[in-house]
Amino acid sequence: MPAVFLANYVFYVWLLFLVPHAEGLGIDPSRAVLLSSIAGIAGTVGSIVFLVLLHFNYDTTIIIIFCCLVSAISFFLDTLSSTFVFLAVMAGVQGLALFVVRTISSVMAKLAVRDAQNIPSALSLFFFLEAVGVGAGDTISGHIYDVTSSMHTVFISFGIALVVATANLIIFAILVCYKASVKSDS
């Protein structure tokens, strides 16, 4: 699933480039590191809210689609300002949403597999795609930065990747719903 690859690509490279991006915009290194803390705290809050929503049986696919879109929008808005407060808000929004998106492998494996015996095989495939996303992400984003010398371009590429992941998730959700309706009609 491309969404698994792209979500992990964005998550891990975003963690890698968050501080250098802020430093490149003129933020003092000691304050730039604070953005990682803000993102981590927001990510923890996002994960807790996600668990509460799961407890109340909200559709996990819809939650992840929403979080992908929120993250994509925040990456596209990245070029609007270079102030610390703006970057802190963006880091918080991105942390909140991306830590939820990070659960994509488990959620998609659970929804894609109908027989519980096949879940380990599905998870191994999804975790393999995660690993490829992590490994390729650094290389691809590093190349984008080397070619453009612009962290803004790298962050916009994150937004584009999340839009593609969102489209993939929407198609996935439609197929899962269709498969369930066909199965219930039988």
| CATH number of 42's domain | 1.20.1250.20
Confidence of residue 113 (pLDDT cuts 50, 70, 90): confident
The total of other beta-carbon atoms located within 10 Å of residue 184's CB is 7
40 contacts 88 by C-beta, under 8 angstroms:
no
Residue 105: which domain range? 2-185
pLDDT for 40 beyond 70: yes
Percentage of the chain surpassing pLDDT 90? 60
Percentage of the chain surpassing pLDDT 70? 97
Model pLDDT, residue 186? 60
Model pLDDT, residue 185? 64
**Count of structural domains, the chain:** 1
pLDDT tens-digit map of 129-150: 888 888 888 899 999 999 999 9
Q: What pTM does this model have?
A: 0.88
pLDDT for 80 beyond 70: yes
For residue 24, give Cα distances in angstroms to 19, 21, 43, 132, 154. Answer: 9, 5, 24, 28, 13
CA-atom Rg of the chain in angstroms: 17
Residue carrying the six token digits 């604070």: 34
Model pLDDT, residue 168? 93
148 contacts 71 by C-beta, under 8 angstroms:
no
Confidence of residue 184 (pLDDT cuts 50, 70, 90): low
Mean pLDDT of 55-78: 94
Mean pLDDT of 10-31: 92
